Structure 1
Amino acid sequence: MPASRRPIAAAALVWAGVAACAVGFVVHRSWLDLPWKRAGDGLVLALGALAAALLLRRLRAMPFATALALVWALALVRFAGVPPVLSVALLGAAACAIGSVLAGPRDPVIALPVGLALIGGVAGWTLSWPVHHAWVHAALLGAMCVWRRAALRDGLGRARLGWRAAVAASPSLAAVAVFALGLASVGAWLPTMQADDLAYHLALPSQLQRDAAYLADPARQIWALAPWLGDVLQGIAQVVAQREARGALDALWLLVAAAATWRLARRVDADAATAWLAVALCASLPLLAALLGGMHTELPTTALLLAGALLVVEAQGGAAPEPGVDRLFAGAVVCAGLVALKFGSAVCALVLVGWALARARTRIPWARLPAALALFALLAGSSYVAAWRTTGNPLFPLFNQVFRSPLLPAEQLVDPRWHAGFGIGLPWSITFDTDRYLEAVDGGFGFVLVALAGAWLIALAAGRTRALAVVASIMLFVPLLPMQYARYAFPGLVLLVPALAVATVHALGQRVATRLLLSLCVANLAFQANAHWLLGVNTLRKLVGHLDGASEALRRYAPERTLVAELRRRDDGDSIVLALDPRAPWVAELGRRGRSVAHYAPALERARIVADDDASGAAWQALIRGTGARWLLSRTDGSSDAQRAALAALGARRIARAETAQLWEIEPVQATP
């Protein structure tokens, strides 16, 4: 194609994607799925943040982006809590300190995620030791900071200067990006209420806080030995703070992802304005706010993936790094962190390794590879070794048709909800028919894949972005091959965004591309609440509109947590608590005390199915007595006649009620094996 026609063809390709997105919006009548009320709440929140930032800027001269960052940081402290924020700040400082051993003292963007993976990977081997006290972790983290204080001071100074330079290079778009990041960070304000957290993720941090150790029992919770790096870091922060620190730690992962996105965009030929556009576009993705509201692994996976991509891109074909930087071992730590977060993330680690090998060509340091592999095994292996020793299946509960642990049937664990099919139309379907791929409302994945489909093709073809776009596309689609679950594709989508932003700007020019990308950000933010039901209901209003907003939100949307708090006031010992409704097995925070009859506990699930068929209630009585439970959690809309008969026969006394959840007490007996 003649050179004069290339810009026209590239622009036409970009606008074709935008037109396709507009057609899809009309054909699918997406405006009917727009959460108008929640969008209005977001607008009020945005105006409040802007007003506060303007006031702060008037009181003390500073860039608007810095003022906005301070406003959002203060809001995080208000809603996440002072002790959790201080605890996570200590953890982050220690991670920067220890990570600088491999990433160098002048690169906190890499040192922070590397350090977090180092701390969590080593701590994973100590979970069963009763040493996880607040003073122990605080002393160890503080010692890391003291040991590497010069590197830490250098890194923080470098970060401060880098921030000032980045903002000065494009003040307006920097403010827009920080504004979008703040709106996403609202998810970190919420108390922990997502289903997987209440049923599983909270168990490890809660046990560490209460018992100073984590004793996993896969018979009661099949995911108890799943890769646990994310939960280990949550546990360290929670132990130091002596309360849940999920929101603050999620905000730290967000900070890592944002900084790495900006720098990765710069490394693929973006100017500062385009880099800020890439950050804003990532921040506007609806699923980001949902991930900030929970303990899922995709948020830390995204941060580590971006850090790994930076390590590869900045290697420059094997050029010598700055003094104090060891890319091989830093890369090994990042890959270990990915595998230690989730077995599925091994795909990301393998792709990163292949990319690094392709760029290194003949400069591979073969003599040092065994040591790097040993470091990888040390940091990634704790949960897999624990699962193998306990169940005979290192990937328990996955792939049990191969390893045949007696705790589960010899078959693969599958969720039939997320098999909509993999094909060429997947980007379209996941955009406009999102509820087939996620527990979300249509539009909850954002509109990037369709609106920037043309830019995607350009990014795959252009030399400056080709490698990043290819790698990101692999990481976007490969996790969707076995199961079409949208959350698994999120890290790959974020990795793709810098290449899409660069391709759009080069095709349309800075001014037009900025308007287009900012319009796409607005569309994504308008549908932000569709990514998770907790973002779509009145959670934010309850959180902001009450003096004790967290308690009010929990009472309304996670009532079992309210009852557990009441239970602890009455009995903070080791008595057993049994959740009777399989749809609400929210007992993870009770640690070893909690039991449920959901699929997480196969033996109790089978007993529950049998008990429901016994109208006399005798089977339910036997089930309850067999667990040795003293406390029972039930739902008024989920109890069967057989269950009610059993409660009456056991002389159960209702102690408290929150919404539809109820707390009962019975006379305890010795559990039947």
Structure 2
Amino acid sequence: MTAFNFGRHTWIAPVIALLVAAVAMGFATLMITEPLAARWGPGQLKWTIVSFAIFAVAGTVIAAVTRRPLMAVLGALIVAPSFLGLDAWTAAAALMLCSLSAGAIVLRIFRRRLEAGTDALFAVIIGLATISTAIFLTSPVSIHTPLTYSLGIVALVAGGVLLGVFSDVIAIVRRLSATEVREINLIDTILAGLVIAAIVMLALYARLPVVDNDSLILHLRLPLMLQDYGHARFATEDLLVGHFPAAADWLYGFGAVIAGEDGAKAINLSFALLVGGIIITWLNLAAGMRAAFAGAALFLTAPILYHETVTLFVENYFTLLLLASVFFAWCYSRDPRPYYLLACTFTVGAAGAAKLLGLLIIPPLAIWLIVSIVRNKRYTDFAWAALAGGGLALLAAHWPYTMAWLRTGNPLFPFYNTFFRSPHGPEQDWINALFHQTLTPESFVRMSFDASPFLESAGVAFAPFIILAPIFLVLALLAGPAHRKLALTLGLPVLLVGLGYLILTSLQQTYLRYFFPLVPMWAVAMGVFSAPLFVRGTWRLSSVSVAALAVLITFQAVNGPGAFYFTRHLTPLQTAFSSTIEDMRRTRAPERFINDYLRGRTDNDEPVAYFWRPFIAGSTENAVALHPFYSWGPWSDFDAAQRAGGLQDFIATRGVRWFVLHDTAVVHAGAGTLETLETLAEQEIRLSGATLYRVRDDVFFDDVIAAFETPSTLPEGWTPVGEIPVEDGAVVVDPQNLLVLGVEVDGDSVILVEADIACGENANYAQLHMNWLDAESTFLRVDIPNFPCRTGTFPLRHEFHAPDGATQGVLVIDGPWGGTQEFHSFQARQNSAR
């Protein structure tokens, strides 16, 4: 079969088309983007190109040695998360195995075994949706520990083994492997090498730390809360975005509980690699292995993918689900069984639980399904799609919206609050004012080469290959009948579904992160359209095509790190060193070191306020961001206080003990706010422009519970037990003769005790004594801090932190066993707001 109908000169049409495309892309690069040299440090552009070339050669050698290019690429997809560490790879592998097993168990209930790759993919999606929902619903309960997760992993994997799930998967892989021709083919191995190089590059940059706003306020905040505290709880007003559909974040929590931040990032990377695996499997089935490698390489080097994977956004998981739903729609179009309709609709529902925008895929996808139903005369499937499919989609999607409705009164909280009028958010609609450009044909060029109007970036930051789609579509239509049919039945429908989703999304916001699902869809279309360029037996045509593809892929891969401001000056080699990771965290997000310090303190339940930069991931459980976009309640209180010049009232009302302020955020403070803060708080730590302030005790503890100084009689308000002498201006106590004071508290109370004491005879240490009781007067806990004795009178200071559920505190001043202690002065204070 020839690729094009040009007689002996079959290579002319694609060569001309590719040259035109290369000139177009070169012109766009020179005229629209800033020069590459301006965006890279000395030698970094060179070393990035060299690194990618080395990875490509190494991948080619691996594919040649194994004589199984397809298996070599799939192996690279599986191994790549190990770049983040063995623990991180274990977390990602455990999630995938558990998801596969859980989904297969569900399918087995409906008498469906894993007979093909589509079944395994559907099982993984069912499992991911189920595990995410389970973590979400139990997130307020303190059960999220490594032990609990380990037991769950063992149970699910054991269930899968007993039901033969993994033996079914092994059989599927063996059948796939058997389709490969065991011979060294230069074209196949070079294409496989390019894909492996793209995988390695992406995995290296995925090692970098999370340093951006959205991730540190939510996407990493929730997982680290599960890791650090075993639960994730927050007040609605303190985290408006906390009620977003967050299926991906809860799956990141699975990784964080097992392996911390690296575990969460490995799972995010795994979602991206799984998208690549779907593209390879899909195109290999429909258009051949070479087209599969071409499509996968275009996707895995797309600059926007670096933007999504270097940090911890949710679009990789969201895109995985949308691409899978389109894949199942294609499966139904060629094999009209209701099973594929159910898989498609359930997957769309799971996407809706990951992001509200996922539901925008429904109109273009429904058109394709309806066309397939009519073409195949499966009219009864309308009822299936409407009833069973709609029910499955609702089952998968409704959880975050139902819980948001129950908790806030607004199922889409904080969106559309002018309609739902939830008291937990602002009365006006919650809208991101950024990225509302009008979408035009020119936008496709702009978003690929000058992304600043569409993303927090600049230059090449989306997917340059998308502007070549029309050219490659024409090439496919000029090819032989088989290629033309494939382009019209697969490539064009997928392209149009992606375009429909793009148009509907742009009506909400023209933000490249939200457009990301378009990239793998069009990569599939490009793989289909490029199939005529890689027909076996057309050596000259295939060689020219591989060379052109290699240039395009290298161009994308080199620009990939530039899609994110924080990575645009790092080469792949630099990302391999832990020193680079620590330096990036220190310079870009020094607050994260402050978070570690705060979390390591014994009083780590005290509220911390982060001014403007909401970098609260990994901080204390009661940390809040003072930012109008993310935390409406704290910001409203703070803004009102700074306008009135009364930050002390804000501290008293909110009980804030710590402030974190970065130098770059000072411009957002009101006049005199910084000066006022420095009179109310003392600097504790300063690191790379970030300062941690601790509110002074006399400001924070403004409610005096009890106090006496050089007493001549027993102090008022205390209940004496036994005979307590008052001698030389001091109360003398011991274990049998003591003073008791009852205090009303709640689970957030902190009581500061300061005293001047002296140790009596036979005393080696001094002590305080606090009993905590609940509303039923049931004993909860006792705190007995000890202090080494010194010569003469010495000061004593201690903070008592009430446990959850406490309503009463019983403060006791007594002495150590066998000795006495003298209290010359005593003061107990707490914050009036707590």
**TMscore range, shorter length:** 0.7 to 0.9
Which residue type is aligned with residue 350 of structure 2?
A: G
Change (3 A) 1:410 1:160: farther
List aligned pairs for 1:122-521, cutoff 5 A: 122-149=134-161, 150-159=164-173, 162=176, 165=179, 170-241=188-259, 244-268=262-286, 270-320=287-337, 326-361=339-374, 362-363=377-378, 364-365=380-381, 366=383, 370-456=387-473, 462-464=487-489, 465-506=491-532, 509-521=541-553
**Closer/same/farther in 2, CA of residues 375 and 123 from structure 1, 3 Å limit:** farther
Q: Which structure is larger by alpha-carbon Rg, 1 or 2?
A: 2
Equivalent in the alignment of 1:570: 601
* Structure 2: distance between partners of 1:144 and 1:353: 34
Q: CA deviation at 1:491?
A: 0.8
Q: Quick one: distance in 1 between partners of 2:391 and 2:264?
A: 31
Q: Is the 8 A contact 1:187 1:291 kept in 2?
A: no
1:628 to 655, 659, 666: 655
CA contact (8 A) 1:576 1:595 kept: yes
Is the deviation greater in 217-226 or in 478-487? 478-487
Q: In structure 1, how many angstroms separate the alpha carbons of the residues matched to 2:407 and 2:60?
A: 57
Q: 1:572 Cα shift?
A: 5.8
Partner of 1:644: 674
Does structure 1 residue 665 correspond to structure 2 residue 694? Answer: yes
Q: 2:48 aligns with which of 25, 37, 42?
A: 42
Distance 1:43 1:115, change over 3 A: same
Per-residue deviation, residues 365-413 of structure 1 (Å, max 9, x unmatched): 4368645444333322221111111221111111223322233344333
- What is the one-letter code of the residue matched to 1:602? W
Q: CA deviation at 1:515?
A: 2.5
Which 10-residue stretch deviates more, 221-230 or 244-253?
244-253
Q: Structure 1 unaligned runs (5+)?
A: none
Asked whether the 8 Å contact 1:194–1:293 carries over to 2, the reply is no
Residue 533 of structure 1 aligns to a residue whose secondary structure is coil
Q: For residues 552 and 115 of structure 1, do their structure 2 counterparts lie closer, same or farther at Cα, with a shift above 3 Å needed? A: same
Q: What SS is found at the alignment partner of 2:241?
A: coil
User: CA 1:74 to 1:457, structure 2 compared with 1: closer, same or farther past 3 Å?
Assistant: closer
In structure 2, relative to structure 1, the CA distance for the partners of 1:14 and 1:533 (3 Å cut) is same
Tell me the residue number matched to 1:89: 93
Q: Contact between 2:227 and 2:256, CA under 8 Å: does it hold in 1?
A: yes
Q: What CA distance in whole angstroms lies between the structure 1 residues aligned with 2:531 and 2:832? A: 66
Residues 514 and 204 from structure 1, CA distance in 2 versus in 1: closer, same or farther, beyond 3 angstroms?
same
Amino acid at match of 1:519: V
CA distance in 2, matches of 1:279, 1:474: 22
Give, in whole Å, the separation in 1 of the partners of 2:174 and 2:523.
Answer: 25
Alpha-carbon spacing, 1:553–1:166, altered in 2? closer, same or farther (3 Å): farther
Displacement of 1:336 in angstroms is 1.8
Q: Secondary structure at the match of 1:657?
A: strand
Greater shift in the superposed pair: 451-460 or 585-594:
451-460
Distance 1:594 1:309, change over 3 A: same
Residues 289, 104 of structure 1: alpha-carbon distance in 2 compared, 3 angstrom cutoff: farther
- Maintained 8 Å contact 1:121/1:380: no
Instruction: Note the alpha carbon deviations across 1:126-167, whole angstroms, 9 max, x for none.
Output: 323333232222222322221122112321453366367569
What TM-score results when the alignment is normalised by the length of structure 1? 0.88
Identify, as 1 or 2, the structure richer in helix.
Answer: 1
| CA-CA distance at 1:595 after TM superposition | 1.1
- What is the distance in 2 between the residues matched to 1:56 and 1:514? 18
Aligned equivalent of 2:582, options 533, 551, 567 = 551
What CA distance in whole angstroms lies between the structure 1 residues aligned with 2:392 and 2:219?
A: 26
In the aligned structure 1, how far is the partner of 2:319 from the partner of 2:20? 29
Cα offset for 1:517? 2.3
CA pair 408-382 structure 1, distance change in 2 beyond 3 A? same
8 Å contact kept, 2:476–2:532: no
Which has the larger displacement, 351-360 or 593-602? 351-360
How big is each residue's C-alpha offset from its partner over 1:454-487, in whole Å with a ceiling of 9 and x where there is no partner? 2256679842422222112212332122211112
Q: Which residue does 1:99 correspond to in 2?
A: 103
- Does the 8 Å CA contact 2:607/2:620 hold for their aligned counterparts? no
TM-score, with structure 2 as normaliser:
0.72
> In the alignment, is residue 656 of structure 1 matched against residue 685 of structure 2?
yes
Deviation (angstroms), 1:197:
0.7
| Partner Cα separation in structure 2 for residue 450 and residue 490 of structure 1 | 15
Change (3 A) 1:572 1:532: farther
Q: CA deviation at 1:18?
A: 4.0
Question: Comparing both chains, which one has the higher relative contact order based on Cα–Cα distances under 8 Å and sequence gaps of 6 or more?
Answer: 1
Quote the Cα distance in structure 2 between the aligned partners of 1:11 and 1:242: 49
| CA positional deviation for 1:84 | 2.4
Which runs of 5 or more structure 2 residues have no equivalent in the other structure? 478-483, 535-540, 702-830
Q: Are the aligned partners of 2:461 and 2:562 in contact in 1 as well (CA < 8 Å)? A: yes
State how far apart, in whole Å, the 2-side matches of 1:501 and 1:659 are. 47
> After superposition, what is the alpha-carbon deviation per residue over 1:509-533, rounded to whole angstroms, capped at 9, x for unaligned?
5443333222211111121122111
Cα distance in 1 between the residues matched to 2:469 and 2:15: 11
The answer to whether the Cα contact below 8 Å between 2:56 and 2:194 also exists between their aligned partners in 1 is no
Q: Rate the CA distance shift 1:592–1:407 in 2: closer, same or farther, 3 A.
A: same
Preserved contact between residue 422 and residue 480 of structure 1 (Cα < 8 Å) = yes
1:82-127 CA-partner distances (Å, limit 9, x unpaired): 2222122111111112223437424234432332123213433332
- Over the matched positions of the two proteins, sequence identity in percent amounts to 21
Q: How far did residue 48 of structure 1 move?
A: 6.2
Alpha-carbon displacement from aligned partner over 1:403-456 (angstroms, at most 9, x marks no partner): 222333443333333122222321122123211110111111131232444225
State the alpha-carbon separation in 1 of the partners of residues 342 and 656 from structure 2.
49
Distance 1:50 1:135 in 2: 41
**Matches of 1:572 and 1:541, distance apart in 2:** 41
Most deviating of 210-219 and 340-349 = 210-219
2:653 and 2:833 in contact (8 A); partners too = yes
- Number of equivalent positions: 658
CA contact (8 A) 1:280 1:521 kept: yes
Provide closer, same or farther for how the CA distance between residues 401 and 266 of structure 1 changes in structure 2, counting only shifts above 3 A. farther
Quick one: which of 578, 603, 622 aligns to 1:593? 622
SS across alignment from 1:585: coil
**Could you tell me how far 1:273 is from its partner in structure 2?**
0.9
Cα 1:476–1:14, aligned 2, differ >3 Å: closer, same or farther?
farther
Between the aligned partners of 2:385 and 2:291, the Cα distance in structure 1 is 38
Distance 1:427 1:48, change over 3 A: closer
1:567/1:40 Cα in 2 relative to 1: closer, same or farther (>3 Å)?
farther
